[in-house]
Amino acid sequence: MPASPNPLNYFIGKGIIKFTPTGGVQRDLGNAPEIEITPTIEKLDHFSSRSGVKKKDRTVVTEKGATIRIVLDEVTAENLAMQLMGEVSTSTDGTKSFRIMSVSEITGRIDFTGTNDVGNKVDIELPNVSFGPSGSFNPISDEWGQIEITGDILATEYTDGTSDFGLITFTDAA
């Protein structure tokens, strides 16, 4: 990768996102025009009381977390069930259905593979994501229908005692 500053580091992201439900089989979520990962932290501030006005002299992180927001263009039973917390069943004639809010949690792994033509490719592995209801589903619209799902990215604990929230890998555009 070129050292900054360099226009070759500019980025127009594209890619493929896949979901592997816990105990299930990986599947492509289809076209996703938006994917956002948002880290969150909680801090504890300390202030010195040694003078007339307290002054902040230390800040420590007390909590770490992250969320993922995915907007999907492909309205499938499996994708909508992720948003509305259902478990899809298939009848003998191939019809799929699910009961709304019939499960408490949908967990699994997210894998994103960068396929962009401009900029470095970014691959993302999130081994532990818990999805919950979010956004709304609009079955009537003059625009393309979309499904928005959000999840909490959970820490993964390793046998060596370390933990993290996932892995991001960069591949040089050149």
What are the pLDDT digits (tens) for 31-83?
999 999 999 999 999 999 999 999 999 999 999 999 999 999 999 999 999 99
**What does the domain layout of the chain look like in residue ranges?**
20-44+59-171
What mean pLDDT value characterizes the chain? 94
* Residues in contact with 82: Cβ distance below 8 Å, sequence separation at least 6, in sequence order: 19, 106, 131, 147, 149
Judged against a pLDDT cut of 80, whether residue 23 lies above it is answered with yes
pLDDT digit string (tens) for 117-130?
Answer: 999 999 999 999 99
Residue 46's Cα: distance from chain center in Å?
33
Average pLDDT over residues 87-103: 96
Alpha-carbon distance 15 to 37, whole Å? 14
pTM to 2 decimal places: 0.91
What percentage of the chain carries pLDDT values higher than 90?
A: 90
Percent of the chain with pLDDT over 70: 99
Residues 132-148: tens digit of each pLDDT: 888 889 999 999 999 99
Is the per-residue pLDDT at 18 higher than 90?
yes
